Structure 1
Amino acid sequence: MNIKVDINNLDDQKVVSVAGEIDAYTAPKLREAILPLAEEVNPNITINLKDVSYMDSTGLGVFVGLLKSVRKNNGQLNLVELSDRLERLFTITGLNDIIDISSKSEGGVQ
């Protein structure tokens, strides 16, 4: 399966829309696309996962690495529009306690 990553600027925020499956094959492409965003000064990143149909532990690892980088650069990371399945995955792993997650779109993110 392929993954599609679109990055847009919305005021001082980077809005990333991800579509497809995030697994061992596609996670490197996702990491390559979004990690540079976290290296900016005070990054403000919102990732819309509305069109992600599947994610495994490799995908979770991408988001943990992104969060570490965002925090190191005094930034903010938000995940929005997660499916029930993805929300459960983040809850089961406890990542919902360290990453800001919303099932609803926020901040003009569509």
Structure 2
Amino acid sequence: MQIELEPRDQGAALVNVQGRLDAAAAPTFKQQITDAISQGNVRLALHIAHVSFMDSTGLGALVSALKAARKANGDISIIAPSPQVQKLLKLTAMDRVFRVFPSPDEALQQLGGRSS
């Protein structure tokens, strides 16, 4: 799994995630997101179009990240989930918990950070 953080203004950041978000990758993902939040990036837009697979552990890591962001008065949105991830979000009703956007620009605009 690859995670790339692109800080924007006003505590917002775009996070590009690629690969599998599963039991093996979840601890690293969770730690990197927690680190980003502790550095002041409390409004995160997770671009997960290139996450090829997510299991329940990966979903748990997403929920933990959301809780951490909200505890810091922030939020997390999801951008362009792959079909497999979309299905998982819908099956678990997490599509009602996370705001899902089709593009980084829309997500960052809603989070309050400029898109470019």
Q: Same fold (TM over 0.5)?
A: yes
CA distance in 1, matches of 2:38, 2:70: 10
The equivalent of 1:8 in structure 2 is: 6
In the alignment, structure 1 residue 31 sits paired with structure 2 residue 27: no
The equivalent of 1:87 in structure 2 is: 86
The equivalent of 2:111 in structure 1 is: none
2:26–2:58: 8 Å Cα contact kept in structure 1? Answer: yes
Q: How many residues align?
A: 106
Extract structure 1 runs of 4+ deviating beyond 6 A.
none
In the alignment, structure 1 residue 101 sits paired with structure 2 residue 100: yes
CA distance in 2, matches of 1:19, 1:42: 20
CA distance in 2, matches of 1:42, 1:106: 16
1:39–1:70: 8 Å Cα contact kept in structure 2? Answer: no
| Structure 2: tracts of 5 or more residues without a match | 106-114
CA distance in 2, matches of 1:42, 1:29: 17
CA distance in 1, matches of 2:25, 2:41: 27
CA distance in 1, matches of 2:80, 2:41: 23
CA distance in 1, matches of 2:40, 2:51: 28
1:42–1:76: 8 Å Cα contact kept in structure 2? Answer: no
Identity %: 28
After the TM superposition, which of the residue ranges 49-58 and 36-45 deviates more from structure 2?
A: 36-45
Q: Secondary structure at the match of 2:104?
A: coil
CA distance in 1, matches of 2:58, 2:13: 19
User: Root-mean-square deviation (CA), in Å?
Assistant: 1.7
Query: Greater relative contact order (Cα 8 A, min sep 6): structure 1 or 2?
Result: 2
After the TM superposition, which of the residue ranges 38-47 and 76-85 deviates more from structure 2?
A: 38-47
TM-score normalised by L of structure 2: 0.83
